[in-house]
Amino acid sequence: MPRVPDDLVAGIRATLPLQLGLIPFGLVAGVAAVDAGLSPLQAVGLSVVVFAGASQLAAVDLLAQDASLVVVVLTAVVINLRMSMYSASIAPYFESLQRRWEATCAYFLTDMSYALAVAEFSDDDETDRRWYYLGAAVTIWAVWQVATVVGIAVGASVPDAWGVSFAVPLVFLSLLVPELADRPRVVAALVGGSVAVLGAGWPLNLGLLGGALAGVAAGVVVEGWES
């Protein structure tokens, strides 16, 4: 029997604390898809193809408002533009991989898998990056899909009093706070978060992208000053 790579197991274990927020997030996405009028098959297909919580919620919200398909797709694309920044940041760690592995890793890229991988790769040069990343990313994908399917199955029967949506920001806070290790990162987080909040009402959810770009720019400027 082939031995399971240690770094694959380490990647899986790294996701365990995040499940407390990821599972409710997936439930919310599944319930929202049903409420928007999608069939179970359409809702599952959206989850598998898009595989991005914020984009899925934005898309089903627009579908519920009878928005045109062009607007729905464009909104989802704009929200996911942050993935291009994640890709550019994490790409140097995967330069030695074959093209098919790079494509596989790209599909599984999310906020959580990116944050876990970059934190691990920057601290430990001995990690087998491919296995660690896939251990974390595929686990997140599997849990997300199962949670979404459960949300689709139970539909609107999840009481609002449960407050499952409150777990969503907690997931990202648990990833963000440990990374605030120096001044440039703190400034980037404060500026990016502030711009994203101020831009919450911008069309096509551009506030999220604007916050990300502003945060990166602020962090780079502060790092330049310090050096």
DSSP codes of every residue in 111-153: HHHHHHHHHHHHH-TTS-HHHHHHHHHHHHHHHHHHHHHHHHH
Looking at residue 189, its pLDDT comes to 86
Q: What is the pLDDT of residues 173-199, one digit of tens each?
A: 665 776 677 788 888 888 988 988 888
**Pairwise CA distance, residues 154 & 193, whole Å:** 33
The length of the chain in residues reads 227
Looking at residue 149, its pLDDT comes to 93
Looking at residue 111, its pLDDT comes to 87
Looking at residue 56, its pLDDT comes to 84
pTM, two decimal places: 0.73
Provide the 8-state DSSP code for 12.
H
Give the residue among 165, 193, 205, 178 at the shortest CA–CA distance from 21. Answer: 165
Q: What is the pLDDT of residues 8-41, one digit of tens each?
A: 999 999 999 888 878 888 888 888 888 778 888 9
> 98-102, 134-138, 154-158 — which one is most confidently predicted on average?
134-138
pLDDT greater than 90 at residue 69:
no
Give the residue among 112, 111, 110, 132 at the shortest CA–CA distance from 121. Answer: 132
The residue ranges of every structural domain in the chain are 6-158, 180-227
Residue 157: pLDDT band by 50, 70, 90 thresholds? low
Percent of the chain exceeding pLDDT 70 equals: 86
Average pLDDT for 94-119: 88
